[in-house]
Structure formats: C-alpha cells, structure tokens
Amino acid sequence: MDTQRRNLAKLLSLGALFPAQAAYSLNNILESIPADSSRQLLQTLGEKGIEKLFKKAVVYDGLVISRNWNEDSFKALAESGYTGFNASLDSGKLEKSLKSIEEWKQIISNNPDRLLLTKSADDIVTAKKEDKVAVMLGFQSSRMLEGTIKNLDTLYEAGMRWMQLTYNSRNLIGDGSTERTNVGLSDYGVEVVERMNELGIIIDLSHCGKQTTNDGIEFSKSPVSINHSMCEALHKKHPRSKTDEQIKAMADKGGIIGIICLGYMIGPNLGTDTTLETYVDHIDHAVKIGGIDHVGVAADFAIQGLEATGATRENWYVPRLTRFKPSYKVQWPPWIPELDKPDRYLQVAKILDKRGYSTGDIEKVLGQNWIRFNKEVLKP
C-alpha cells in the first residue's frame, strides 16, 4: 500500500502536465490494490483536497457569541480557519450597548495582528489577505434604541453594523418568534427599517416572529439577513425556523440565511437522527429554495464550542427551561459534536464535497455569500 501511495504522489505532481496519462496510471494503481484500500485512498485524496480548499477559502460565521473573550477564544480562532464573523455583543440600554462596542473595539485595537474591525465587505477581503480575522459588531436586540430612532445613528457612528429587530418577545418594533401573537412591524418598526437602510446597517430577522419576518423582508429596500436560523420544512413547528416562502422571499431580494449550528435547533432528536448530516440537510434545503448564492453558516455560540466553554446541564440547560417557552424544544446536550469544535466548517465542507457540491459552491456557502451580501448592504 505504501508503494502505491508513493507512486500516486508522484503521479499527482505530473497530473497537471499530462492529465490523460495520469488518469490512466491512477486507474492502474487503484486496480492493483484491494477495493477497501482503493476507497480509503480516494477518500484520503478527497479530504486533502477539501482541506486545501478550506485553507484558501473565505470562512465567515453569521453569528458568534463574543462575550467573555479571552486567550482560549484566540486559540480556538487560530484552529477554526475563520476569516471573519458577526460578533453578538451584550445589549441592554443604550449606555450598556455603547460600552459593549467600546470594549470590543479595544480588544481589536489590542490585537492588530490578529483582528480587524469590520465595517465593509472589503474589510473581510483585507483580513483574508493579511491573515487576520474580521469582526463585525452588532446586537441580537434593538432594546438599546430606547424608542428613539436617532440612537441608530449613535450606534452606527460607534461601530455597529448589524442589528436584530426583535428577540423572542415583543418590542416596539414588532413581535418576536415566541410571542403569543403574530403581528408584524409597527409604524415605528417601519421607520427603524428605513433608517437602517439609509445608514447601511444590516437588518437581521433571525428571532423575529413570522409576520415581523415577512414585513422585514417586504419593507426593507436593502437585502436582509437571517443570520442564524434553520428550515421549517426540516424542523417543523419550531418558532425559530423559517418557512420556504420566507427563505425564497429573502433570497429574491438578495438576502442571506446562515444555517445555525446549535444542535437542538436543527432537529428534535439529538444523538440519534439529528447529526452533522442533518445540519447539511438544512443547507441543501435552503439552497434548493433560495439558491446557492443566499445560504451561509452560523454557530450561535462561542468559537470554542459550548462544551469547551463549560456549558453543563445545570448552568446551561436548566436556566433555559425558564428563559424559553416549551415551544423552543431545548435539549441536553444541545450540540452536534462535530459542530461544537473550532474546525466545524471544515467538517461541513467535507460533507458538502461528498454530496457533490462544486468547489465554487462550497466556497460560497463557507463565506463568499456573506461578502456578496455585505457589499450590497453596507456603505463603503
């Protein structure tokens, strides 16, 4: 077997010059070894190719929980292959949210060789060229507006570039995903959307209720983001999922959906029939409905993963039984093992490759779609 591997290595180095001869010789090598070994050899070659592709690709995460950032975060980041991510900051009233922005800007300023504050798609490209990680600051809440649209300008000037209209419950803008009612955007909410468009702030609809999601897509003049969600067709009756109609409407206006890595969001039976393959099923479905240019990836937890950051049944699962309604279907443990590690998207890329995605399409899902989307929404 070792001899065949050495011959194959030589063959691959010559393949670019003599493709026909290389193909003929490859067939000879594969025929000369047992079937199980030849399958293993081809699998190894495929994985090496994907690893090479992943290394050169832009890898962008639609949502990372960025609280309690430390050296463990940096270590995980170095292992992740990330080019950039949307950082979910602590929110509350305006003063607290502005403090969160300043704290993260200080982290970036203190690590100029590792991080780059991101305000445009060009910053993501620059980060890739300079071997840094682009960080785009934003919030999963609009509470910090405190009912005053002018506060959008204040937050934008401070560095915020994306904001979720509602979390799970109702606010002045509209209903969240677990609210008992299902009203859409208020008049104030429409004004917020209009001002976000004017400033170039990404509108995120991930936790919005169904009608608020529909209205957000309809009333926004710019493409919208569903930066961490999943497909209702595959995980039915979960309040955080998005319907085929919503995914198509979002895509038709140039938007993007990031498929969430949080395991219990992907399927109802973690550990049995909800796996890494199930996660990629959601990518497949979203691509089928919205098109290959409108689907990305998103974690919804820290770079390290939940287990590595100390999530336990007592400190993670039990509190969520009171914080979230039963419709949220919280499970323990909440993760898919392969996605709860820094190299999560390399594992996703391998499955996409096995399912026949082209290298270009894999690169789109990993990060190029976020660049395309950000170019359309963010101001230069």
In this predicted model, what pLDDT tens digit does every residue of 289-341 receive, in sequence order? 999 999 999 999 999 999 999 999 999 999 999 999 999 999 999 999 999 99
DSSP category for residue 17: T
Residue 269 has pLDDT above 90, yes or no: no
- The secondary element (H helix, E strand) that includes residue 259 is strand 256-260
> Model's pTM, two decimal places?
0.89
Residue 107 has pLDDT above 90, yes or no: yes
Report the share of the chain in percent with pLDDT over 90. 85
Residue 23 has pLDDT above 60, yes or no: no
Domains of the chain: 2-33 (no CATH), 57-377 (3.20.20.140)
Count of CB atoms situated within 10 Å of the CB of 83 = 24
87-94 average pLDDT score: 95
Count of CB atoms situated within 10 Å of the CB of 90 = 18
Phi, psi of 134 (to 5 degrees): -80, 135
Evaluate whether 215 touches 185 at the Cβ level (below 8 Å): yes
52-80 average pLDDT score: 97
- For residue 2, what pLDDT is reported? 46
Angle between helical axes of 187-199 and 210-219 (0-180°, round to 10): 50
Angle between helical axes of 121-129 and 369-377 (0-180°, round to 10): 140
Buried b / exposed e across 255-287, counting CB within 10 Å, b at 16+?
A: bbbbbbbbbbbbbeebeeebbbebbbbbbbbbb
- For residue 27, what pLDDT is reported? 44
Burial tier of 1 (Cβ tally within 10 Å: 0-12, 13-18, 19+): exposed
- For residue 43, what pLDDT is reported? 57
186-208 average pLDDT score: 98
Please give, one letter per residue, the 3-state secondary structure of 286-341: HHHHHCHHHEEEECCECCCCCCCCCCCHHHHHHHHHHHCCHHHCCCCCCECHHHCC
Name the residue with tokens 């000879």. 28
